[in-house]
Amino acid sequence: MNSRLGRRRTLRSAILAHDNDYGFDPRTPHWPAPPLRVSCVVPYYETGPLAIECVHRLAAAVAAYRAGIGLGAPAAQIVVVDDGSRTHPFPADAAPGLVRVIRLPHNQGRAAARNTGLRASREFDLALFVDSDVLVHPDLVIETCRLWQPPTTRPGPAPIVASLMSTYRAGAEKFAPARAISAASITADWRFSCRFQPSWIADPSDWMYVGHRFNLVPATNYFRSWHGAVGPWLLPNMVLGGCFAVPVGPALAVGGFDEAFARYGFTETSLAARLTASGVPVIPQITVAAVHVEHNPAHHNQRDRDTHLATAHRRFFTEFLAHDLD
């Protein structure tokens, strides 16, 4: 309780009051990436061969970043957290040399797997979370790290970096990873431009937005002018689990991910909310797109996913955001 004002300070109130003006234009090209200790975390559950492609693409992006830094580049790692797979355990012998595999004894959910990877990143500056059904552009690690230390601004809190993504829906028999990456565009991401669909409704109040056009990234000056709620979304909802980076120290300090979000939906949003409430800015990475591949065999069917998402939405907005901060 804030005794002077007589008001509770909650996660929700801190997020609504957050000033996200991080002070520069993320479209500005070509400044050098700073030397950061980068830990990439891949939560894995029964994905199969697609995850091997994911990890190899990620390793190539890490290598490109370290080559750009040159002699004396800081340490980097890729941590694959196998969340209790039984049918398709992650094949460690197929992974590049910088990959470390942690195997959980049973399936605990993506938030728990991410927390395991976050703790394994304790000695690193940045944790880049990439889902096992996501492919990254060769420059993605470079572009992520550039946003941490632009030379044109005074140092501020290390940010959350939210990469925009395309979705690749071709069947496995037609899967062409290089083509998918080369064709990817940030403008295909719903956060860049979308029309609110009836199938997105998770709360009765969302009906008022059906059919409305939202250009969330450009209309908020690349999140710099985001304040409060925009339509049905808060700023942490702009951080999607497929590909995002967080500062390791602050992420551990706020408690990591809330493992109550064990099923599909909002598994990443709790950490984004906690960091935003503590003053960490959210910056979109809009130079190169990641690719979400839709033929992951571990996915639930769409009806189950919609049910889990609605449950997680209620928990996030009615319970989680009501947590006291003081």
**The pLDDT value given to residue 312:** 78
Q: What is the pLDDT of residue 3?
A: 41
165 part of a folded domain: yes
Number of separate domains in the chain: 1
Cα 120 to Cα 17: distance, rounded to the nearest angstrom: 32
**For the CA atoms of 127, 133, 138, 140, what is the dihedral angle to 10 degrees?**
-40
Query: DSSP readout, 56-95?
Result: HHHHHHHHHHHHHH-TTPPPEEEEEEE-S-SSS---GGGS
pLDDT digits (tens), the chain, 326 positions = 444 455 678 999 999 999 999 999 998 867 889 999 999 999 999 999 999 999 999 999 999 999 999 999 999 999 999 999 999 999 988 888 889 999 999 999 999 999 999 999 999 999 999 999 999 999 999 999 999 988 766 778 999 999 999 998 766 566 788 888 988 999 999 999 999 988 888 778 889 999 999 999 999 999 999 999 999 999 999 999 899 999 999 999 999 999 988 877 788 999 999 999 999 999 999 999 999 998 655 555 666 666 767 777 888 888 888 888 87
Radius of gyration, alpha carbons of the chain: 19
What is the per-residue burial (b if ≥16 Cβ within 10 Å, else e) of 161-200?
bbbbbbebeeeeeeeebeebbeebebeebbbbeeebeeeb
**Is 33 a member of any domain?**
yes
**Among 75, 102, 134, residue whose Cα is nearest residue 299:** 134
| Pairwise CA distance, residues 121 & 112, whole Å | 14
**Are β-strands 76-82 and 38-44 bridged in parallel, bridged antiparallel, or unpaired?**
parallel
Is 12 inside a domain boundary? no
Question: What is the phi/psi pair of residue 269, to 5°?
Answer: -70, -25
Q: What is the pLDDT of residue 156?
A: 83
Half-sphere exposure of 86 (CA within 13 A, CB side): 3
CATH number reported for the structural domain that contains residue 60 in this entry: 3.90.550.10
| Strand-pair partners of 182 | none
In a domain, 234, yes or no: yes
Q: Closest by alpha carbon to 295, among 58, 86, 51?
A: 51
- Give the domain range for residue 206: 26-322
Query: Residue 232 falls within a domain, yes or no?
Result: yes
Q: Tokens 């993504």 belong to which residue?
A: 165
In a domain, 256, yes or no: yes
Threshold 0.85, pTM exceeds = yes
Amino acid letter, residue 309? L
Whole-angstrom CA distances from 297 to 87, 88, 153, 156, 292 are: 11, 10, 44, 41, 13
Map residue 47 onto helix, strand or coil. coil
Whole-angstrom distance, CA of residue 262 vs CA of residue 54: 23
Q: Is residue 16 part of a domain?
A: no
Residue 10 resides in a domain: no
Residue 177, pLDDT score:
86
pLDDT of residue 70: 95
